Structure 1
């Protein structure tokens, strides 16, 4: 049986010139296009004079529609999956059908292309060697708190998406949970009114307090700094006596010798000086 194939095709996040030649070739040659918003995608296809049958495929129907598309592929159809902007599967529908293709041993191909994550990350000037992308934060505070608890002590640069009507609330939330870290706010990337701002979170909150906010945002927040980590570690033992400090490390599973070494390093004292306080422990 000759199956068709699924193509996950990135589309421009703003500037239509950012579509790749390969993406255009795939869109011209597939049998049909599965689109997050058929009206939006029709504008894109019309711009490049591509005439294709469009099928709606979005987050509210992707579970059921994925199997429909799989059956079409089994019937020999080739299908391109696109979202409104960017790469399918990244904060957009796509991951479910990829999983089902793997389960069903269906051939699929992921094309490289536009994504706001890496564009914003490089614009930010923050550490690009390691980062964590968490997409849109949940709407409910209890769900947001779960995520921020996972992230607040991470050294990696943090990347979020945000919509204009939630930007103020999200900046306040980040400030109250992460402290006054540096942030790069990228708005309307690749579009006519693209704007890149680099602030502290306090400055960002002040800037947006009186602005009429429009556009889509990518927030790039610096990870937890080494100095902040050292200060927090210091705060844990500054209130302890040297004996208590040694006992604390022993309770964590260190030997007395290892505990003495760690305490000496923390307090910038000699091991022989710390040893005096450990004799009766």
Structure 2
């Protein structure tokens, strides 16, 4: 059971955290500014029997700042699969356990997925404690559409694999969001400019910190801006989705249909033209029937 007398401090004032129901609490923490934490997150971290940290040294800065003295255990990509079963047993026995990453919302390009899956498979409760997220913070200030977006985390380190991953997203219509290391930011922007073309984009750096910075422009402009500039901290890249494809000229695809029907069965000709021009099959099939009726 959790300690009902667990507490925390805000600006020197002491507060008592209420007890928690048994379960795993996925707690979002600040991405830079320590004040960007919710009261519910503080209560959860203070009352939990243990706090699972991506790096206990990194998390100590936040926990110590708010006077949270509970037990801390490292849970990272190298041990999370091994520890998942043990954590599930503790929750099943009645403990309330908190999970945090170094910054932001756990599981978003951070450890935690194997544990959450193990909890779900065991039928144990998992509670989200929402808060800061670099992904959403960058998205809302980028100046790009937010009605549909896709998060792709970190692209591959190697240039060839990175180019292949970007190419696979070339036709995606939704706004695209990526995380990137400051060491690879220039190379990634250059690759995006080459593959995506002249799309609008934004690069967010040091979000919520003193030197917060958001640069906007075309991918080519951003690639040039960051080509020789050394940056600090992880970047968030937000890229506009692909433009809607223009409708093919009717005369073009109908001429192609006539040509295709001249040397292959109607069904095969219809399939070929449908795929080549991105049309609805019924539309092409109806046109093929009309052509056959004229013979």
TM tier relative to shorter chain: 0.7 to 0.9
- Aligned counterparts, 1:20-35, within 5 A: 20-35=38-53
Rate the CA distance shift 1:31–1:224 in 2: closer, same or farther, 3 A. Answer: same
Checking the alignment, whether the CA contact within 8 Å between 1:249 and 1:259 is kept in structure 2 is no
| TM-score between the two structures when normalised by the length of structure 1 | 0.84
Q: Deviations over 1:10-43 (max 9, x none)?
A: 0001111110000000011111101001001111
Rate the CA distance shift 1:18–1:257 in 2: closer, same or farther, 3 A. Answer: closer
| DSSP-derived class of the 1:42 partner | helix
- Aligned counterparts, 1:23-102, within 5 A: 23-102=41-120
| DSSP-derived class of the 2:207 partner | coil
128, 143, 165: which one aligns with 1:110: 128
252, 258, 280: which one aligns with 2:283: 258
| DSSP-derived class of the 1:127 partner | coil
For residues 155 and 138 of structure 1, what CA distance do their matches in structure 2 show? 22
Q: Deviations over 1:194-225 (max 9, x none)?
A: 10111101111111122122222100000001
232, 253, 258: which one aligns with 1:243: 258
Could you say which residue in structure 2 is the equivalent of 1:171?
189
For residues 94 and 260 of structure 1, what CA distance do their matches in structure 2 show? 50
132, 140, 146: which one aligns with 2:158: 140
| DSSP-derived class of the 1:223 partner | coil
- Aligned counterparts, 1:149-168, within 5 A: 149-168=167-186
199, 211, 225: which one aligns with 2:229: 211
| TM-score between the two structures when normalised by the length of structure 2 | 0.80
Q: Deviations over 1:241-260 (max 9, x none)?
A: 67348889723487998338
* Higher helix content, 1 or 2: 1
Q: Where does structure 1 lack aligned partners over 5 or more consecutive residues?
A: 264-274
- Aligned counterparts, 1:161-200, within 5 A: 161-200=179-218
